[in-house]
Amino acid sequence: MLYNIFMKTVDSFWRDANYVPILGHGLVTSNIITFTGDAATVVTPVFSITGVVEILKIWGIVTTTFGANHANAHLRINDQTATDVLISKATTLDLSGISAGAAIIKNGLAAAVLVYKSADAATALEPAVADEKNWTPVIIVQKTGGIQTDIEYVYTTSDSPTSGAMKFYVGYLPLSEGAAITAS
């Protein structure tokens, strides 16, 4: 078997109970974020991008109930100068007080809000039409010169201080030499 040392990565495929790789997610990286902030717009770096990657899936599972005010939640790219490269719509998603176990999912284009599925009762998410996927891939390119390029989770709050935590996941494919996504 040939092995390309330039395309090696530290991430791995998820595996089933028989240790067989599950290939539909791509390589998977995760990061647990505890939200901190005080009556303001809260910007939290979640993942760092190296090279060119195709994000196949990006989602989060709430691990600690969110504070009473957690609004306008969205994902964006920050290359240390531009912070207006949105991965999801920056308005209208209100996640105030959502319970642990809830899922937040990017399943639309950048013009669409993230999808929220509560854990307070059984729920399902399915495509709008047959043969459509629940996940919407996106290609992200790191800024030239090795400049730090992050995926950030952003929301506004009037809580003082804010509270809550979420474990984020990203499934991706590296498209360039040395490409990877790591926890910020």
- Percent residues over pLDDT 90 in the chain: 41
pTM of structure: 0.84
105 beta partners: 59, 115
Q: How many residues does the chain have?
A: 184
| Among 131, 73, 79, CA closest to 102 | 73
Is residue 127 assigned to a domain? no
Q: What is the pLDDT of residues 42-52, one digit of tens each?
A: 899 999 999 99
Res 112: pLDDT: 87
Residue 22 has a pLDDT of 64
* Cα dihedral across residues 62, 47, 175, 82: positive or negative: positive
58 belongs to a structural domain: yes
Number of structural domains (the chain) is: 1
Q: Tell me whether residue 112 is in a domain.
A: yes
The verdict on residue 27 lying in a domain is yes
Task: Flag whether 128 is in a domain.
Answer: no
Instruction: Look at residue 141 and tell me whether its pLDDT is greater than 70.
Output: yes
Residues 68-108: pLDDT tens digits?
888 999 999 999 987 778 999 888 888 998 999 999 999 88
Asked whether the predicted pLDDT for residue 62 surpasses 60, the reply is yes
Sign of the C-alpha dihedral computed for residues 13, 14, 20 and 24 taken in this order: negative
Q: By residue range, what is the domain housing residue 146? A: 5-121+133-183
pLDDT digits (tens, 9 = 90+) for 16-33: 677 766 666 788 899 999
Q: Is the dihedral of CA 164, 124, 112, 47 positive or negative?
A: positive
